[in-house]
Amino acid sequence: MEKWRILQTIARFVLPLHLIVRPMTCDKLGRYSRLIGRSCIMPTKYDSPITDMPTSLTELKGLIQKAVGGDNLRQPYESIWVSSSSCPTTPSHTMYMPLLCVVAQGSKQVTLGDEQYIYDTGHFLLNTVTLPATSRVLDASPEKPHLGMTIGLDPAMVGSVIAEAGLPTPTAGTPLRAMESSPIDCGLLDAVVRLARFFDSPRESPYLRSLVLREIIYLLLKGPQAARLHQIVPGLGQTQRVARAISWLRDNYDKPLTIEKLARESGMSSSALHHHFKDVTALTPLQFQKQLRLQEARRLMVSEGMDAANAGFKVGYDDPSYFSRDYRRFFGAPPRQHVERLRGDAVQIESAP
């Protein structure tokens, strides 16, 4: 009976496991199929559909709705978030970590610098570098709420998948923008659905969940966003120098910034830093630092009750009027008015998109 239960679990959550370096032969897979009482077909391509798109979306909608339970943002497991919104939302400023975002219903827009990315049931969003961005739900209603799932991407796991699968490293060149929206295929959506099924199966989750996460990474690495995902791996090209600059800015956002010092910290010339930093983030280093400062100041005022002058000073502003001017330009309202509105609406500053 124990063997039977294990095989049923593998069939429900893990098969088809494209990531196995030595895939099962069709004969061996057939024997497993007969044992678990279901038919399995070994896909001939890594992006072959396992189920049709509407069926997968319907199941994913149900799994997210059950996990969230109304308008909310929840984290069922480490580095996995699910959210629901029954109406379009105002822009929300947050830090985007390396992640994959999938929508089961509705659509969402992310603004990075002057660029906008829209993703919906037919597209996923991939981000490979930690950066500040603005997001909002576009399409949602009480009858058809926006339903989304966000999966954090671990650089170490991405590097491990690349090494174990023997995938080639892209030719070095100009760094790609860290964020992009791309069409989702049935194979990737199917893997996301199988990951969501763990919301109901905590006992099987810890080990098998990592297998499905690796499969998702593998499918991304075999798809059109492979070169962008390679940028997440430490030590690969100019993007990692930009990542070092971003890390320094996050740790020192409250300190005066000179491009020369940041260039030394990242191992690039000043001109190369400016060029590559904007290639990856769509922002200049000074714009990036300003957004970090303003988001942290907002958090201090909303979560810790700090007044605007002290919050501005805490994040590196010497002039309160200059801080208020930057804050109003970025958030669309003066600090006090904006914070009062956030508190009055009981808005939670999101930790995940």
Instruction: Answer yes or no: are the C-beta atoms of 337 and 352 closer than 8 Å.
Output: no
177-195 pLDDT tens trace: 899 999 999 999 999 999 9
Q: Of 230, 246, 261, which closes a domain?
A: 230
Instruction: Answer yes or no: are the C-beta atoms of 307 and 267 closer than 8 Å.
Output: no
18-37 pLDDT tens trace: 434 333 333 333 333 333 33
Instruction: Answer yes or no: are the C-beta atoms of 330 and 294 closer than 8 Å.
Output: yes
Both ends of the chain: CA-CA distance in Å?
42
**Does residue 8 form part of some domain?**
yes
Same domain, 291 and 279: no
Give me the number of domains the chain comprises. 4
Q: Note the pTM of the prediction, 2 decimals.
A: 0.76
Same domain, 85 and 121: yes
258-285 pLDDT tens trace: 999 999 988 889 988 888 888 888 889 9
Q: CA–CA separation, 307 vs 297, rounded Å?
A: 9
Same domain, 119 and 158: yes
Hey, how many other C-beta atoms are within 10 angstroms of the C-beta on 179?
24
Same domain, 114 and 220: yes
Same domain, 254 and 314: no
Cα→Cα distances 289→3, 103, 136, 252, Å: 55, 30, 22, 9
**Does residue 351 form part of some domain?**
no
The pLDDT value given to residue 44: 31
121-180 pLDDT tens trace: 999 999 999 999 999 999 999 999 999 999 999 988 998 898 888 888 776 667 788 999
CATH at residue 298: 1.10.10.60
The percentage of the chain sitting over the pLDDT mark of 70, rounded to a whole number, equals 79
Q: Of 230, 249, 275, which closes a domain?
A: 230
**Does residue 215 form part of some domain?**
yes
**Does residue 65 form part of some domain?**
yes
> If you count them, how many residues does the chain have?
353
**Does residue 308 form part of some domain?**
yes
The percentage of the chain sitting over the pLDDT mark of 90, rounded to a whole number, equals 49
Q: What is the mean pLDDT of the chain?
A: 81
Same domain, 23 and 76: no
| 314: containing domain | 287-344
